[in-house]
Amino acid sequence: MQGELTENGNNSTPFKGEIFRKLIHYSSASIPIGYLYIEKNTVLLILGIILLLLFLVELVKYKSDSVYNLYMRYFKDMLREHEYDRRRFRINGASWVVFSGVFCIILFPKLIAVTGLLMLSFADSTSALAGRLWGKKQFAPNRTYIGTVAFFTIGILVVLFSPKYFGTAKEYLLAFTALIATTAADALSLPVDDNFTIPVTCCGVMYVLYWILFPDTILI
């Protein structure tokens, strides 16, 4: 989320912790890349186990002082304030990333899910760092011009290099349209965690456009 990274925003995460947080975020590209080569049910089983473990850690840390203190000792510098506030149960960004992977893989055809999840891994992470480093001018609370430009720029690379069903100009235009919609969704700062809204917006728009532009094709 680019807005969390502006110096004038609400982010209290130290910059060093932010770097480690985004390295983990970039590494989430292993989910869509792995999905290209591993059978769907196997990927879902792996992600399901990881998600369950993450959720259990989240739950226990709210109930156990010793677990909470250990969690804070090792991860506090990488967390947003709401992720360690014990007054209200909320899962952290990593859990949202894995949940989004499960959701998109179940709901959308493979190459659409891969594109949406790559958009989350690369465009969102880069926009966040750009917003933190250079985002001095905001067009909305916690939203910077440089962060949005970075999101769209990296999104172009994702569109160009992500796998395609046909490789036609019409298909690339479809993907670029989805990128515009996804950039807008990120810029609007919707109330749902952007680790969910970004890939779901991208996948959802792409799916509808495939249905309109390639009505006779069954996507797998």
Distance of alpha carbon 133 from alpha carbon 15, whole angstroms: 9
Give the torsion sign (CA, 72, 64, 195, 115): positive
Residue 65 domain-assigned?
yes
- Give me the pLDDT at residue 141, please: 61
H/E element holding 78?
Answer: none
Residue 70 domain-assigned?
yes
Residue 44 domain-assigned?
yes
Beta carbons within 8 Å of 54's beta carbon, 6+ residues apart: 91, 92, 94, 95, 98
Q: Containing domain of residue 149, as a range?
A: 2-213
- Give me the pLDDT at residue 160, please: 97
Residue 64 domain-assigned?
yes
Q: Domain total for the chain?
A: 1
Residue 113 domain-assigned?
yes
- Give me the pLDDT at residue 39, please: 97
- Give me the pLDDT at residue 99, please: 97
Residue 219 domain-assigned?
no
Residue 168 domain-assigned?
yes
- Give me the pLDDT at residue 143, please: 75
Asked if residues 83 and 74 have their Cβ atoms less than 8 Å apart, the reply is no
CA angle centred on 105, ends 107 and 165, rounded to 5°: 90
Residue 220 domain-assigned?
no
Tens digit of each residue's pLDDT, the chain (220 residues): 554 433 333 455 666 667 777 888 899 999 999 999 999 999 999 999 999 999 998 888 777 878 777 767 766 666 666 666 666 667 788 899 999 999 999 999 999 999 999 999 999 999 988 988 887 777 766 678 899 999 999 999 999 999 999 999 999 999 999 999 999 999 987 788 899 999 999 999 999 999 999 998 889 8
